């Protein structure tokens, strides 16, 4: 059985950083998007976002997925929500 | 709380720790108000070196509490009164990531300067080469220079040149728009602040915080306003304003337009322009959008928007009928760093002055008219550049009406701040009473209510019918006693004055906490949940009543600040037009406001606030709210 993966869709990302804050609270007891395993690269001028995950360190806890209300994150083996 | 105090004269900085500020003033506007009230010296005028500038994120910002993203900036406004403005986006988070809760800017620099702040302190950098650049250029240059993750807060040329309604911008599109604080920042020769901190906020109890976050999020998404707010953003109300005849058309002379929905309505926006949803930090609502023009001469142009304020101001007040042209006006305001509402208001006033012969073509250099994009665009350019007539417009309506004697009736400002977005005559509710009562003057964002609604009713100056569905009423978070007093048992109608007072305390509280004020929040999040969040994060045992008392304290401090600076109840009024002319819409007319009844409402508001009939804060109120000293 392969490792679970988190599927990311930059096009749906709103830039809210809820995933990164949730990840850092879960892992470090501090709200800090600079420290989280999921990160956003933000182009502010165009309001575009690129989501990346440090897969080496990620605990696959799913907190980021639960925090995302824009359907930009899901387990790879689950169907996309609309 | 940890305050960073920056002195622009000695180019030094220090940190002050004061934990008592948190439970006495919460954060955001609360802390700013206290610091201004306590430390502004007597007689300081807006452009004096003693007019300090404060940036404070709300108390919950950066912790993941849903919608807690908002940050407040405050100082004496160019109007001479309490100036304060709020924005979302990432600025508040970026300040907290520098390990601080407030940036307190003192003094004036002798030459242009910008600050780089991180968790270690402040660097003062030469701003000469940035001076004269617009906000987009400044932000791009500083991101290039300081690193792409830097959050940039800056002013444009309007702030440098002292335009009275200059704004401060965070990250291109998030404006601290109202009350002209960009001009105050410009007067200090402070071009920009770069925020580079990467510090986190320690969480006391992550399990409790998670439960709370989920509870707040579930409430937000269960509100019947959630879906629409995500889908249309603030544009959700665009069509209703037109149907109700409460648009501010042609400087408050046209309450509706026949072609409004096809040109500036919410469906046109959604179907032709909107492409993606955007959100501020920690927000599940996502009321903001990215838009693209797909045809015509602006084909391919992309921007953030459309906010309904832009549609109501450039589209409604000035009658520009084409959304891409509205986008152009907004971008120009954003680049110069000027408040959209005040810019379009001074132009509306100028056009009416021109129509009535107060202003001549030779004074301007060209003809100006409602609906004429070219002349309106040129006027925005002239204001931003302080050129020709733009010099006069840039001083704001209150100063302009001194030059054009006899135009008071249609000079639409209150306490020196230009009136925004909607006409009070068609629906006189707490929102509209609040428009002249709130501390900022002509403004619609400081007094709102949990039951904000736009169903038509006939003004009676006492009650507004309660038309929310039963499920929505059940979701309201208002202390039971207050709910009964305002809405009756069972809740059936709204006591307008009592709700105005509550709405002001409530919004002040949301703001101090850093929460948003979009409808899903108003309908579901109130003092009791905010108290839960406050205690979860900070460990104090405060309850809903304690928080509302703090709010009252903040409102009263800002009011005392204004009284000291010469404000009287005489300025709590609409311009004459609203009491003497009706407003036409769809072939009908809303009658003028009943002046006497409005004045009675104001007196009752004073009574509920614990002020005397002149608006002075009574001794017992001072004592109850511990306003003598901290
Ligand atoms: S799944 Fe990985 S990235 Fe997501 S919150 Fe957990 S640790 Fe962070
Ligand atoms: S929570 Fe979702 S929408 Fe928000 S930043 Fe993360 S991926 Fe993007
Ligand atoms: S509702 Fe809109 S303005 Fe408010 S925090 Fe969310 S995205 Fe920002």
| Domains of chain A, earliest start first | 6-74 (3.30.70.20)
User: Does the domain spanning B225-418 belong to CATH 3.30.70.100?
Assistant: no
Nearest to B201 among A26, A31, A44 (CB): A31
Please check whether residue B230 is in contact with residue B274, taking contact to mean a CB–CB distance below 8 angstroms. Answer: no
Nearest to B302 among A29, A31, A46 (CB): A46
Please check whether residue A4 is in contact with residue A77, taking contact to mean a CB–CB distance below 8 angstroms. Answer: yes
Q: Is A36 on the interface with B (CB under 8 A)?
A: no
Task: Answer whether residue B258 shows pLDDT above 80.
Answer: yes
Grouping H, G, I as helix, E, B as strand and the rest as coil, residue A62 is coil
Strand ranges (E), B377-507? 413-414, 417-418, 463-465, 493-495
B508 vs B409: CA distance, rounded Å:
31
Strand ranges (E), B110-189? 113-118, 121-126, 151-154, 168-170, 174-176
Task: Answer whether residue B357 shows pLDDT above 80.
Answer: yes
* pLDDT tens string B365-422: 999 999 999 999 999 999 999 999 999 999 999 999 999 999 999 999 999 999 999 9
Contacts of A42 in chain B (CB under 8 A): 90, 149
* pLDDT tens string B477-493: 999 999 999 999 889 99
* Phi, then psi, of B202 in degrees rounded to 5: -65, 135
Instruction: List where CATH 3.60.9.10 sits in chain B.
Output: 2-195
B62 vs B93: CA distance, rounded Å:
5
What lies within 8 Å, CB to CB, of B230 at 6+ separation is B277, B285, B286, B287
Banded model confidence at residue B169, pLDDT cuts 50, 70, 90:
very high
Task: Answer whether residue B630 shows pLDDT above 50.
Answer: no
Mean pLDDT for chain B?
96
User: Does the domain spanning B430-573+594-624 belong to CATH 3.30.200.20?
Assistant: no
* Phi, then psi, of B222 in degrees rounded to 5: -85, -5
Are B200 and A34 inside 8 Å of each other by CB?
Answer: yes
Out of A9, A11, A17, A80, mutate this one to test ligand 2's pocket (max ligand atoms within 8 Å of CB): namely A17
3-state helix, strand, coil in chain B (%, to 5): 45, 15, 40
Contacts of A31 in chain B (CB under 8 A): 62-64, 200-201, 203
What lies within 8 Å, CB to CB, of B312 at 6+ separation is B238, B241, B247, B248, B420, B421, B422
DSSP state of B269: I
Are A26 and B62 inside 8 Å of each other by CB?
Answer: no
Instruction: List where CATH 1.10.599.10 sits in chain B.
Output: 430-573+594-624
Task: Answer whether residue B121 shows pLDDT above 80.
Answer: yes
DSSP state of B338: B
Please check whether residue B361 is in contact with residue B367, taking contact to mean a CB–CB distance below 8 angstroms. Answer: yes
Model pTM score: 0.97
Q: What would the mean pLDDT of B328-351 be, rounded to a whole number?
A: 98
Q: Is A69 on the interface with B (CB under 8 A)?
A: yes
Question: What's the CATH code, domain B2-195?
Answer: 3.60.9.10
Instruction: List where CATH 1.10.569.10 sits in chain B.
Output: 225-418
Residues facing residue A48 across a β-bridge: A43
ipTM value, please give it. Answer: 0.95
* pLDDT tens string B42-51: 999 999 999 9
Under 8 Å CB pairs connecting chains A and B tally to: 92
Q: What would the mean pLDDT of B149-168 be, rounded to a whole number?
A: 97
pLDDT-above-90 percentage for chain B: 96
Grouping H, G, I as helix, E, B as strand and the rest as coil, residue B107 is coil
* pLDDT tens string B82-111: 999 999 999 999 999 999 999 999 999 999
Q: What would the mean pLDDT of B598-606 be, rounded to a whole number?
A: 97
Are A30 and B203 inside 8 Å of each other by CB?
Answer: yes
What does chain A come to in residues? 82
How many whole angstroms from its chain centre is CA A1? 23
Which residue has tokens 């200059």?
A: B166
Please check whether residue B398 is in contact with residue B411, taking contact to mean a CB–CB distance below 8 angstroms. Answer: yes
**CA of B284 relative to ligand 3 center, distance in Å:** 8
B464 vs B458: CA distance, rounded Å:
9
Nearest to B64 among A11, A21, A42 (CB): A21
Q: What would the mean pLDDT of A62-74 be, rounded to a whole number?
A: 96
Beta strands B53-57 and B71-76: pairing type? Answer: antiparallel
* pLDDT tens string B280-305: 999 999 999 999 999 999 999 999 99
Helices (H), B311-396: 323-336, 340-355, 361-364, 373-384, 389-393
pLDDT, residue B216, reads 97
């Amino acid at each position: 059985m392969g490792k679970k993966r988190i599927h990311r869709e930059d096009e749906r990302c709103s830039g809210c950083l809820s995933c990164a804050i949730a990840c850092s609270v879960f892992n470090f007891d501090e709200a800090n998007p600079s420290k989280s395993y999921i990160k956003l690269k933000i182009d502010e001028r165009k309001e575009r976002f690129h989501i990346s995950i440090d897969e080496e360190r990620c605990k696959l806890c799913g907190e980021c997925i639960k925090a995302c209300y824009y359907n930009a994150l899901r387990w790879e083996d689950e169907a996309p929500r609309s | 709380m940890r305050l960073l105090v920056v002195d622009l004269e000695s180019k030094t900085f220090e940190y002050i720790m004061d934990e008592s500020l948190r439970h006495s003033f919460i954060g955001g506007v609360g802390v700013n108000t206290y610091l201004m009230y306590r430390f502004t010296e007597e007689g300081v005028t807006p452009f004096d070196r003693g007019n300090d500038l404060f940036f404070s994120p709300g108390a919950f910002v950066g912790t993941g509490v849903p919608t807690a993203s908002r940050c407040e900036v405050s100082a004496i406004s160019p109007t001479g009164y309490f100036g304060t403005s709020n924005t979302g986006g990432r600025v508040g988070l970026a300040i907290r990531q520098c390990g601080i809760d407030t940036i307190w800017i003192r003094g004036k620099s002798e030459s242009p300067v910008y600050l780089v702040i991180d968790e270690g302190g402040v660097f003062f950098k030469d701003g000469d080469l940035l001076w004269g650049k617009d906000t987009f250029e400044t932000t791009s240059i500083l991101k290039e220079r300081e690193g792409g993750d830097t959050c940039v807060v800056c002013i444009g040329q309007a702030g440098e040149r002292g335009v009275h309604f200059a704004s401060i911008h965070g990250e291109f599109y998030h404006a601290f728009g109202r009350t002209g604080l960009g001009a105050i920042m410009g007067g200090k020769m402070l071009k920009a602040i770069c925020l580079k901190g990467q510090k986190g906020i320690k969480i006391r109890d992550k399990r409790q915080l998670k439960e709370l976050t989920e509870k707040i999020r579930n409430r937000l998404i269960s509100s019947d306003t959630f879906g629409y707010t995500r889908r249309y953003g603030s544009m959700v109300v665009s069509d209703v304003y037109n149907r109700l005849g409460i648009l501010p058309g042609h400087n408050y002379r046209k309450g509706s337009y026949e072609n409004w929905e096809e040109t500036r309505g919410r469906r046109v926006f959604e179907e032709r322009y909107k492409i993606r949803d955007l959100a501020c930090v920690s927000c599940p609502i996502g009321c903001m959008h990215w838009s693209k023009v797909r045809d015509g001469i602006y084909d391919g142009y992309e921007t953030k928007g459309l906010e309904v304020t832009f549609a109501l101001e450039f589209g409604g007040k000035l009658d520009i009928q084409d959304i891409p042209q509205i986008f152009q006006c907004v971008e120009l305001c954003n680049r110069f760093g000027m408040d959209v509402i005040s810019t379009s208001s001074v132009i509306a006033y100028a056009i009416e002055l021109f129509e009535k012969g107060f202003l001549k073509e030779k004074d301007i250099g060209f003809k100006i008219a409602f609906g004429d994009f070219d002349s309106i665009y040129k006027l925005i350019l002239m204001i931003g550049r302080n050129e020709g007539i733009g010099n006069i417009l840039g001083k704001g309506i209150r100063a302009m009406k001194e030059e054009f004697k006899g135009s008071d009736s249609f000079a639409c400002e209150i306490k020196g701040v230009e009136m925004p977005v909607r006409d009070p005559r068609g629906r006189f509710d707490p929102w509209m009473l609040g428009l002249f009562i709130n501390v900022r003057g002509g403004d619609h964002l400081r007094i709102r209510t949990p039951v904000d609604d736009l169903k038509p009713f006939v003004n009676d100056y006492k009650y507004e019918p309660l038309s929310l569905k039963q499920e929505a009423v059940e979701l309201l978070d208002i202390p039971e006693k207050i709910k009964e007093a305002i809405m009756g048992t069972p809740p059936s109608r709204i006591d307008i004055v009592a709700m105005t007072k509550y709405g002001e305390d409530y919004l002040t509280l949301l703001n101090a906490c850093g929460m948003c004020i979009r409808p899903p929040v108003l309908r579901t999040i109130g003092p009791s949940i905010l108290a839960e969040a406050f205690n979860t994060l900070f460990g104090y045992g405060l309850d809903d009543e304690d928080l509302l008392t703090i709010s009252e304290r903040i409102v009263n401090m800002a009011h005392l600040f204004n009284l000291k600076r010469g404000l009287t109840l005489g300025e709590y009024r609409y311009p004459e037009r609203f009491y003497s002319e009706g407003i036409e819409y769809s072939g009908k007319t809303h009658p003028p406001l009943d002046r006497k009844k409005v004045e009675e409402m104001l007196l009752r508001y004073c009574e509920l606030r614990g002020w005397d009939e002149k608006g002075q804060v009574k001794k017992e109120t001072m004592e109850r709210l511990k306003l003598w000293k901290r």
